[in-house]
Structure 1
Amino acid sequence: MPAEPVEFRYAARSDVGLTRRNNQDSGYAGPNLLVLADGMGGPAGGDIASSVALAHLVPLDSESHPAEAMLPLLRAALNAAHEDLTERSAQDSELKGLGTTCIAIMRAGNKLAMVHIGDSRAYLLRGDTLTQVTTDHSFVQYLVDTGQITPEEAEHHPQRNVVLRVLGDSQADVTPDETVREAILGDRWLLCSDGLSGVVSAETIGQVLSDFDDPGACAEELIHLALLGGGPDNVTCVIADVVPSGTSGQTAPQIVGAAAIDRSAPSRGGTGAAARAAALANGSQDHGDEGDNEDEDEDEDGKHRWWAPVLTLLVAALVAGGGWLGYLWTQTQYFAIGESGSVVIYQGIPQTLGPWSLSHRTEVTDISLSDLSSVDRERLREPVVRSSREEIDAYVTQLEDQADRNTTPSPTPSPSASPSASPRAVTPAPTDPGYTASPAPSPSESR
Structure 2
Amino acid sequence: MRIQASYISNIGTTRKKNEDSLLINDILVCDADMDSADEVTSSDERQIYVVADGMGGHQMGEIASRTVLEVFRQRYKDIENEADISDVVFFAKDALDRLAGDDNLRYGMGTTVSGIFFGHNEVFVFNCGDSRVYLLRDGALERLTKDHSLVQELVDIGTITESEMRFHPQKNIVTSAVVADLHGGLPDVDAKAMKMSDDSTFLICTDGLWESMGREEMEECFRDMEKTVECLLKGAIAGGGRDNISAIVVRIRDI
TM-score, length-scaled by structure 2: 0.85
TM-superposed CA distance for 1:152, in Å, is 4.0
Query: 1:212: which partner in 2?
Result: 224
CA distance in 2, matches of 1:177, 1:89: 25
- Of 26, 29, 41, 2:21 maps to 26
Mark the runs of 5 or more structure 2 residues left unpaired by the alignment: 26-41
CA distance in 2, matches of 1:89, 1:194: 25
TM-superposed CA distance for 1:60, in Å, is 4.1
User: What SS class does the counterpart of residue 115 from structure 2 fall into?
Assistant: strand
- What amino acid is aligned across from residue 27 of structure 1 in structure 2? L
- Of 153, 163, 167, 1:142 maps to 153
Does the 8 Å contact 1:127/1:186 carry over to 2? no
Q: Which digits, 9 at most, give the CA deviation of each residue in 1:76-122, with x for residues without a partner?
A: 21110011112222332211210000012111142101221000011
2:246 is equivalent to residue 236 of structure 1? yes
Q: Which digits, 9 at most, give the CA deviation of each residue in 1:41-87, with x for residues without a partner?
A: 114411001001110111345x5x68xx1423322211100111122
Query: 1:51: which partner in 2?
Result: 66
CA distance in 2, matches of 1:103, 1:128: 22
2:3 is equivalent to residue 8 of structure 1? yes
Q: Which digits, 9 at most, give the CA deviation of each residue in 1:350-380, with x for residues without a partner?
A: xxxxxxxxxxxxxxxxxxxxxxxxxxxxxxx
User: What SS class does the counterpart of residue 82 from structure 1 fall into?
Assistant: helix
For these two proteins, the number of residue pairs brought into alignment is 233
Paired-residue identity, %: 30
CA distance in 1, matches of 2:19, 2:244: 7
Larger RCO (alpha carbons 8 Å, 6+ apart): 2
2:215 is equivalent to residue 202 of structure 1? yes
- Structure number with bigger Rg: 1
User: What SS class does the counterpart of residue 225 from structure 2 fall into?
Assistant: coil
CA distance in 2, matches of 1:125, 1:159: 28
Closer/same/farther in 2, CA of residues 56 and 130 from structure 1, 3 Å limit: same
CA distance in 2, matches of 1:158, 1:76: 34
Q: Which digits, 9 at most, give the CA deviation of each residue in 1:284-325, with x for residues without a partner?
A: xxxxxxxxxxxxxxxxxxxxxxxxxxxxxxxxxxxxxxxxxx
Mark the runs of 5 or more structure 1 residues left unpaired by the alignment: 1-5, 246-447
TM-superposed CA distance for 1:21, in Å, is 0.7
Q: Which digits, 9 at most, give the CA deviation of each residue in 1:248-284, with x for residues without a partner?
A: xxxxxxxxxxxxxxxxxxxxxxxxxxxxxxxxxxxxx
- Of 37, 54, 60, 1:39 maps to 54
CA distance in 1, matches of 2:213, 2:252: 24
CA distance in 1, matches of 2:94, 2:233: 32
The CA RMSD over aligned residues, in Å, is 1.9
User: What SS class does the counterpart of residue 155 from structure 1 fall into?
Assistant: helix
- Of 156, 161, 174, 1:163 maps to 174
Query: 1:336: which partner in 2?
Result: none
